[in-house]
Structure 1
Amino acid sequence: MKKKSTVVIGFVGTKLDNYRGPSRWDKWRPSVALTQHPDLSIARFELLYNGPYEKLVDEVAADIGAVSPDTQVVPHALEMRDAWDFEEVYGALFDFAKRYPFDPDHEDYWIHITTGTHVVQICMFLMTEARFFPGRLVQTSPPRSPGAGTPGSYALIDLDLSRYDQIAQRFSREQMEGVAFLKSGIATRNAEFNAMIDEIERVAIRSRAPMLLMGPTGAGKSFLARRIYELKKARHQVDGRFVELNCATLHGDGAASTLFGHIKGAFTGAASDRPGLLKSAHKGVLFLDEIGELGADEQAMLLKAIEDKRFLPVGSDHEVQSDFQLIAGTNRDLSQDVVAGRFREDLYARINLWTYALPGLRERAEDIEPNLDYLLAQFGEEHGQMVRFNREARARFMRFARSPEALWSGNFRDLWASVTRMATLAQSGRIIEAIVADEIARLQRLWRPRLARNGEHAVALDAVMGEEAVSQLDLFDALQLEGVLKICRQSKSLSDAGRKLFGVSRDAKAKPNDADRLKKYLARFGLSWDQVSAA
């Protein structure tokens, strides 16, 4: 394997590097001295500076060329008015890191922190610790005997940010930006979901271990996996591709070939070599959605590929290497599949290190509104037209969207489809109440078969109480009341319904009056038996 080239990134020392005349070779100049070590080959020196120091940079570059002809010096002028101002320094270095074409596969980066102001050194330290500079710190020291003419010494430093907590807090906004990136800038309000995304952000930039995303169809597993990849790529954590596969689409003998590839002639129809998705994900991220659908053989091969970074393509006697990070998705309880023998216990243990359960849309009712705004903005960007609800239309849609009647069985896919339909029908970019009413009716028709499966006598509370009254109910009360009304609709009388509802607790009463208990319960919600039975 070819050895990586060493690239140094550091500021010119406006004092330590600033010596002229023949006697300068008797002085210790950190930038020049680093290239004088006979055991160290530096391919390139990215020499940063700010202010009117072009002449000094040219002189230092010429002296580096004299002692190390193979070292290319590349000057970079950074826009900083004050090298002692944290915000300016950090901003300039952040912009430089974003522009610079880092290539960690072929180059090792040494971040030189001996020169520059103390603020420059601290900011370079923090940029390296946060992986905006994907390299290691290097510190140089002068020779022990003054005037010895030797290059002194250099040392690579292991990062330890514990002593710099107060400074690190000043740049916590980068972590906040990472969290916002994972959420696409949506100001989600669900506390548990926000806490989960906070942890995922920290894990994403600090770990390459497998991750398991659980949740119902449409909860956003694929979307989140791609955002994790894009966050890691922005932090120089990955260089390869994002490769995605829904394992439910794999069938028969072609499953292993799709994942692990095959060689020419491995089976009938194998007219040429195929690399497979695991190989395509080398140095990147592989997202296997519905991983529970994999067959037993593919599970065993995947386990070896995760642990050893090697696997055998179909029909080959020679292993192939692929260093990828796995993100798995499932809408099933894999622990139950392990018990039932449908999923390998060792593979489940391997991918269960970082497991996150994404809640469905109904479990995040408070997040419907910010997602609604996000989808409207997205529609506007794609179609070049701003779309907005009028006040009454928005209020009506939100009452329905947060009510027990709104199943959101397809989760965010249902919400996306709903917004797309309303925005498309909006004239002059205004969604009016009539459009919302038609959309609610459409969603009710869409979910009717599921309501029928959930219970033949499902009750729409707003048909009994009105939308305004339903919007004032806690979800607990709404679900309980819905169940009570189902029993009432199946019963011949108030007393018959009471006996069914209080069949256990009535035995503990000396004089049970089931009808009266039920009557009082309904009265809490402004309902009577006549209203309920009529509905």
Structure 2
Amino acid sequence: MKKLVSIGILGVQLDSFDPRRRWDRWRPTVSLCQQEDLLIDRFELLYEPKFAKLAQTVADDMQAVSPETEVNQHLISMGDPWDLESVYGALYDFAASYPFDTENEDYIVHITTGTHVCQICLFLLAESRHLPARLIQTSPPKRDPATTPGDYRIIDLDLSRYDQLAARFEIEKRDTETQLKSGIATLNASFNAMIGEIEQVAIRSPHPILITGPTGAGKSQLARRIYEVKRAKRGVSGSFVEVNCATLRGDGAMSALFGHKKGSFTGALDDRGGLLKAAHKGVLFLDEIGELGLDEQAMLLRAIEEKRFLPLGSDQETESDFTLISGTNRELSEEVRKGNFREDLLARINLWSYQLPGLSSRKEDIGPNISYELSRYAKDHGRQVAFNKEARRSYEKFATSPDAKWTGNFRDLNASITRMATLAGNRRINAEIVESEIDRLQRSWQGPKNDSQDEELLRDVLGTQAEEVDPFDQAQLALVIRACRESRSLSEAGRKLFAVSRLKKKTSNDADRLRKYLSKFGLSWDDCLA
């Protein structure tokens, strides 16, 4: 069996005594050694220098009532016992230097004696496991203290041991994850795992979060949900401020972000606080952060690191303690290589980085999202609409097939459900409406492409060598070149082109696959660009 070791602070009020009535009153430290069902093998008694005599008498009395207990006295200097900093520092130093042996000993910390500040510090050190111990609290007897030692209760701060508490925590965790997913019962395992981590980060971390992914993947919606979780958990108290950086240009960008002083430029008729100031104590969501100019990036970096910045035209710094969430559909590492994005800013904003997959990469989540879009339509329009059974089956079959490109991701799905719900005259979406919608989607994704356009595109890239490409390969190569021209990087183009096959691989290197394909025709990424 492990030995039981108790740690406690000498109580200069409760443990003191009248020499003439030494055993007539309850003394908590001594009473701990009088408990019949609690055999303490060793007691570590902490005391301050001016109470050395009292500590020795209490130690003698403890051994008198419990000869089996070894009492060790530890001199500590806490200074003002009501000063949190000095008390915590003294107890922390004791915990750091004590030779704990958890393999062979169990530890309990007595929190009945000492000032309230001492008790709080002992609690914090036990909760953080600097003191690898449970807590024990004693209370005086209801009858004669000369014959009964009173009661005690042991408190284990490992909350996972308490089934009801653990169940409540699990329910709370699930509720938070559901909130982050807008209440959608998603089935994609990797997406759900990512949301589970974001839930922890949203609650525990004040650091920047970077959300990447294609347009329409839900970056803005997720950013707002993160803010709502932070606010609910008291992580932030201010507002959610959102801006699309692609709309910011020139002096207007500086002014919108950092504010300006009256007269700082033509048209600056009044002082302006700016978006960073508006997000004080809240969350600032910079969507499409890759569109920011280099000057704005430099000022933003300082604002993130120092929580201070200079409004345009001002010589007085402004403070704003905001949490930053950034969104982008660009490959920022590629933008750094091109000199369009600051490497130090990227390093600062991607401590927590999450890539939202497109809808075509989450086919199993299309069904739940269809239900969500119908609910949202009902809420927005006050009109409940549902599918006929066969119509729903037909639409989901198409939506999860390779023919469904979902180039606009969830925006495409939202628009599609809105159109069908609007046309459902009797509030039922039937097979005819679904068939018409599928045709509309396919035409919108196909675009005005034809064989002559493919030939012209190949001649533009390959020159006279285009005639040497087999007709079988021409359509495919034209498709690849278009994907490259519509993408911001080799990796982004690869993700589009290998959207289905990449899901079957444990690890995927889309850029390398695309690079090898192009090399078969003697082409590089730069050759494909317009």
Whether TM exceeds 0.5 here: the answer is: yes
Q: Distance in 1 between matches of 2:221 and 2:421?
A: 22
**Deviation sequence 1:54-93 (CA, Å, 0-9, x none):** xxxxxxxxxxxxxxxxxxxxxxxxxxxxxxxxxxxxxxxx
Unmatched 5+ stretches in structure 2: 1-24, 27-83, 85-108, 130-156, 458-473, 477-498, 505-519, 522-530
Name the residue aligned to 1:466: none
Residue 185, structure 1, aligned to residue 183, structure 2: yes
Q: Distance in 2 between matches of 1:477 and 1:328?
A: 26
Name the residue aligned to 1:114: none
How big is the shift at 1:381?
2.2
Q: Distance in 2 between matches of 1:151 and 1:279?
A: 40
| SS of residue paired to 1:286 | strand
Name the residue aligned to 1:164: 159
Name the residue aligned to 1:216: 214
TM-score by length of 1: 0.57
**Deviation sequence 1:194-229 (CA, Å, 0-9, x none):** 100000000000001000000000000000000000
TM-score by length of 2: 0.57
Do 2:246 and 2:288's aligned partners in 1 also have CA atoms closer than 8 Å?
yes
Q: Distance in 1 between matches of 2:225 and 2:386?
A: 27
How big is the shift at 1:375?
0.7
Name the residue aligned to 2:393: 395
Do 1:142 and 1:151's aligned partners in 2 also have CA atoms closer than 8 Å?
no
Q: Distance in 1 between matches of 2:434 and 2:350?
A: 43
Summarize the Cα distance change of 1:349–1:475 in structure 2 as closer, same or farther, 3 Å threshold. Answer: closer
Do 1:278 and 1:324's aligned partners in 2 also have CA atoms closer than 8 Å?
yes
How big is the shift at 1:142?
5.7
How big is the shift at 1:140?
11
Q: Distance in 1 between matches of 2:228 and 2:296?
A: 27
- Aligned letter for 1:275? G
| SS of residue paired to 2:242 | strand
Q: Distance in 2 between matches of 1:430 and 1:311?
A: 56
How big is the shift at 1:413?
0.4
Following TM superposition, the consecutive aligned residue runs of length 4 or more in structure 1 with deviations greater than 3 angstroms are 139-144, 150-154, 159-162, 450-458, 474-479
Do 1:143 and 1:152's aligned partners in 2 also have CA atoms closer than 8 Å?
no
| SS of residue paired to 1:240 | coil
Q: Distance in 2 between matches of 1:151 and 1:312?
A: 45
Aligned positions of 1:254-293 closer than 5 A: 254-293=252-291
Q: Distance in 2 between matches of 1:264 and 1:140?
A: 63
Do 1:140 and 1:152's aligned partners in 2 also have CA atoms closer than 8 Å?
no
- Aligned letter for 1:169? A
Q: Distance in 2 between matches of 1:206 and 1:390?
A: 45
Residue 155, structure 1, aligned to residue 120, structure 2: yes
How big is the shift at 1:242?
0.2
Summarize the Cα distance change of 1:284–1:389 in structure 2 as closer, same or farther, 3 Å threshold. Answer: same
**Deviation sequence 1:92-139 (CA, Å, 0-9, x none):** xxxxxxxxxxxxxxxxxx9xxxxxxxxxxxxxxxxxxxxxxxxxxxx9
| SS of residue paired to 2:362 | helix
How big is the shift at 1:313?
0.3
Summarize the Cα distance change of 1:475–1:298 in structure 2 as closer, same or farther, 3 Å threshold. Answer: closer
How big is the shift at 1:478?
13
Do 1:142 and 1:153's aligned partners in 2 also have CA atoms closer than 8 Å?
no
Do 1:213 and 1:356's aligned partners in 2 also have CA atoms closer than 8 Å?
yes
| SS of residue paired to 1:239 | coil
| SS of residue paired to 2:260 | coil
Aligned positions of 1:102-181 closer than 5 A: 154-156=119-121, 157-158=123-124, 159-160=127-128, 163-167=158-162, 169-171=166-168, 172-181=170-179
Name the residue aligned to 2:151: none
Summarize the Cα distance change of 1:477–1:182 in structure 2 as closer, same or farther, 3 Å threshold. Answer: closer
Name the residue aligned to 2:310: 312
Name the residue aligned to 2:369: 371
How big is the shift at 1:143?
6.0
Q: Distance in 2 between matches of 1:409 and 1:352?
A: 26
**Deviation sequence 1:249-303 (CA, Å, 0-9, x none):** 0111211110000011111111110000000000000000110000010000000
Summarize the Cα distance change of 1:153–1:428 in structure 2 as closer, same or farther, 3 Å threshold. Answer: same
Do 1:304 and 1:311's aligned partners in 2 also have CA atoms closer than 8 Å?
yes
Q: Distance in 1 between matches of 2:448 and 2:370?
A: 24
Do 1:217 and 1:410's aligned partners in 2 also have CA atoms closer than 8 Å?
yes
Do 2:361 and 2:503's aligned partners in 1 also have CA atoms closer than 8 Å?
no
For 1:429, which of 420, 423, 427 is the aligned residue? 427
Name the residue aligned to 1:333: 331
Do 2:261 and 2:311's aligned partners in 1 also have CA atoms closer than 8 Å?
yes
Name the residue aligned to 1:409: 407
Q: Distance in 2 between matches of 1:293 and 1:220?
A: 18
- Aligned letter for 1:164? L
- Aligned letter for 1:390? N
Residue 299, structure 1, aligned to residue 289, structure 2: no
Name the residue aligned to 2:508: none
Unmatched 5+ stretches in structure 1: 1-26, 29-109, 111-138, 145-149, 459-473, 480-502, 505-535
Q: CA RMSD in A?
A: 3.1
- Aligned letter for 1:383? H
| SS of residue paired to 2:250 | coil
Q: Distance in 2 between matches of 1:262 and 1:396?
A: 56
Instruction: Tell which structure's C-alpha radius of gyration is larger.
Output: 2
Q: How many residues align?
A: 326
Summarize the Cα distance change of 1:289–1:191 in structure 2 as closer, same or farther, 3 Å threshold. Answer: same
- Aligned letter for 2:435? A
Name the residue aligned to 1:418: 416
Do 1:392 and 1:433's aligned partners in 2 also have CA atoms closer than 8 Å?
yes
% identical equivalent positions: 57
Q: Distance in 1 between matches of 2:184 and 2:408?
A: 20
How big is the shift at 1:166?
2.5
Do 1:140 and 1:153's aligned partners in 2 also have CA atoms closer than 8 Å?
no
How big is the shift at 1:163?
2.4
Summarize the Cα distance change of 1:404–1:428 in structure 2 as closer, same or farther, 3 Å threshold. Answer: same
Q: Distance in 2 between matches of 1:141 and 1:457?
A: 78
**Deviation sequence 1:341-376 (CA, Å, 0-9, x none):** 110000000011100000000011111110000111
Summarize the Cα distance change of 1:263–1:351 in structure 2 as closer, same or farther, 3 Å threshold. Answer: same
Summarize the Cα distance change of 1:152–1:280 in structure 2 as closer, same or farther, 3 Å threshold. Answer: closer
**Deviation sequence 1:490-532 (CA, Å, 0-9, x none):** xxxxxxxxxxxxx99xxxxxxxxxxxxxxxxxxxxxxxxxxxx
Aligned positions of 1:471-482 closer than 5 A: 476=501
For 2:248, which of 250, 254, 261 is the aligned residue? 250
Q: Distance in 2 between matches of 1:388 and 1:341?
A: 51
- Aligned letter for 1:170? A
Q: Distance in 1 between matches of 2:503 and 2:351?
A: 37
| SS of residue paired to 1:403 | coil
- Aligned letter for 1:432? N
- Aligned letter for 1:198? G
Name the residue aligned to 1:82: none
Do 1:247 and 1:293's aligned partners in 2 also have CA atoms closer than 8 Å?
yes
For 1:348, which of 346, 349, 367 is the aligned residue? 346
- Aligned letter for 2:216? G
